[in-house]
Amino acid sequence: MAGFSRKGAKRKDRFVSFIAASSMTGIALGVAALIIVLSVMNGFQTQVRDRMLSVLPHIELYVSGASHQEVLSNWRQVADKAEQNPHVTGAAPFVASQAMLVRGDKLTGVQIRGIDPDLEYLVSDLAQQMIFNDLSALKEGGFGIVLGNQLARSLGVTVGDSLMMMAPQGSISPAGFAPRMRQFRVVGLYSSGHYEYDASLAFVYYQDAARVFRDSGNSGVRLRITDMQQAPEVAYQLAGQLPTGVYVNDWTQNNKTWFAAVQTEKRMMFLILTLIVAVAAFNLLSSLVMAVKDKRSDIAILRSLGATPREIARIFLVQGAIIGFLGTAIGVGLGALVAYNIDVIVPFLENLTGQEFLPQQIYFISQMPSNPQLSDMVVIGITSLVLSLLATIYPSWRASRLQPAQVLRHD
């Protein structure tokens, strides 16, 4: 009979140990998943932002109430005023409008940017992103156009081909409305790595754009600043320094909806994945409750030998803290290992499964990015430890409330 009891006790100990190990594994997996997901979302946001700003300016100054030619004739005055701000490092004129590009039976709506090819390097990285020819191929009066590689592929054109550009503004004649059209020749291709822009953004010489669009679209000055993160503050300063009629837009305003959606998604993912850690913490609570129930006799003996309720509670607090700490440490290590090597892991899995995890047409970029942040890891680690410690309070309290006389009498 005694042998049977010892055998049953061993089985109970193994079961409790298994539950404790499961709790530790759950905490580790939850912490690792949280670190990996947030690192990927950070990397996604950084990659898209950097590629976006490689072709777009940090700040744009729009001049209202004047024609494109008037704005372009006086753009240097506005630029000189803006460059008095110490954060502004470069300025260049621009004309922006929407248009339709026609090639045979293919018709595509695009964003047209009229630029000065000699000054564009001051405000964007377009010159470094050219894959066929360079920006010097854009000449005033030459009506050349530089297309993104995805846009050129969808239209079926390459360097040297001609296409028709239709401006949104037209003219009224006895025959009806006639859109303004102009033939352009493809003189270069670029690739920014941002699918949306490579498929919908084209560049022409700014004076040619002014002639085609006349009163439609906007014109003004594009600016680059020392730190893109300070764009809202610099834009606010410029708004107070520039003359009336000049409007200031920074890149965070132009893309506010997208970045707000990413931040909201990041917060929601943090909450959802934190629930995984919380579930693991509840498993820890269950394992400690079972441990208290299994060790009732041992607790009673310790109390009879003089152990105080606080010392009994401390035993289970330490046990739960060790499980929570080990689970958190393993999770942080595993999460960091995957997050810092995701550029190797994901291509391996794609080659192994034959599936593309990040279609460029949907996610704008073709490679899985990762940007682990130490601050995120610290917050995740502290959150996991707090949840683990909270899970130990009730079992520890139950253990400290056991009465030795009642336990030993029933045993």
Using one digit for the tens of pLDDT, what is the confidence trace for 278-291? Answer: 887 887 887 788 77
H helices, E strands: number in the chain: 15, 10
Provide CB contacts within 8 A for 322, sequence distance 6+.
none
The answer, yes or no, to whether residue 52 has pLDDT greater than 80, is: no
Region 42-69: mean pLDDT is: 80
By the 8 A CB rule, do 180 and 115 touch?
no
Q: Which residue has the higher pLDDT, 241 or 299?
A: 241
Provide CB contacts within 8 A for 285, sequence distance 6+.
391, 392, 394, 395
**Measured distance CA(322)–CA(316) in Å, rounded:** 10
Q: Residue with structure tokens 């959802």?
A: 272
| Inter-helix orientation angle 342-353/2-55, to 10° | 100
| pLDDT on residue 405 | 61
DSSP code per residue over 108-173:
EEEEEEEE-TTTGGGT-SGGGGEEES-GGG--TTT-EEEEEHHHHHHHT--TT-EEEEEEEEEEEE
The answer, yes or no, to whether residue 11 has pLDDT greater than 50, is: yes
Q: Which residue has the higher pLDDT, 7 or 64?
A: 64
Q: Which of the four pLDDT bands, split at 50, 70 and 90, describes residue 188?
A: very high
Region 33-61: mean pLDDT is: 83
Q: Among 7-11, 91-95, 285-289, which range has the highest average pLDDT?
A: 91-95
| pLDDT on residue 147 | 94
Region 136-164: mean pLDDT is: 92
**Measured distance CA(367)–CA(381) in Å, rounded:** 28
List the single range of 268-272, 346-350, 374-378, 382-386 with lowest mean pLDDT. Answer: 346-350
List the single range of 49-53, 171-175, 198-202 with lowest mean pLDDT. Answer: 171-175
Which tokens is 127 given? 């010159």
> What is the overall mean pLDDT for the chain?
82
| pLDDT on residue 334 | 93
Region 289-306: mean pLDDT is: 76
The answer, yes or no, to whether residue 2 has pLDDT greater than 50, is: no
By the 8 A CB rule, do 67 and 215 touch?
yes
Provide CB contacts within 8 A for 293, sequence distance 6+.
none
**Spatial CA neighbour of 121 closest among 92, 163, 156:** 92
Provide CB contacts within 8 A for 126, sequence distance 6+.
54, 55, 115, 120, 135, 146, 190, 192, 203
List the single range of 37-41, 119-123, 334-338 with lowest mean pLDDT. Answer: 37-41
By the 8 A CB rule, do 239 and 231 touch?
no
The answer, yes or no, to whether residue 404 has pLDDT greater than 70, is: no
Each residue of 207-234: pLDDT tens digit? 999 888 877 778 889 999 998 888 889 9
**In 341-373, which residue ranges form alpha helices assigned H by DSSP?**
342-353, 360-363
**Measured distance CA(36)–CA(346) in Å, rounded:** 12
**Spatial CA neighbour of 75 closest among 35, 111, 109, 83:** 83
Q: Which residue has the higher pLDDT, 278 or 360?
A: 278
Q: Which of the four pLDDT bands, split at 50, 70 and 90, describes residue 22?
A: confident
Q: Which of the four pLDDT bands, split at 50, 70 and 90, describes residue 3?
A: very low
Region 179-188: mean pLDDT is: 88
- Phi and psi of 366, rounded to 5°? -105, -10
| pLDDT on residue 164 | 92
| Inter-helix orientation angle 2-55/374-401, to 10° | 160
By the 8 A CB rule, do 144 and 157 touch?
no
Q: Which residue has the higher pLDDT, 301 or 135?
A: 135
- Strand partners for 218: 96
Provide CB contacts within 8 A for 375, sequence distance 6+.
none
The answer, yes or no, to whether residue 317 has pLDDT greater than 60, is: yes
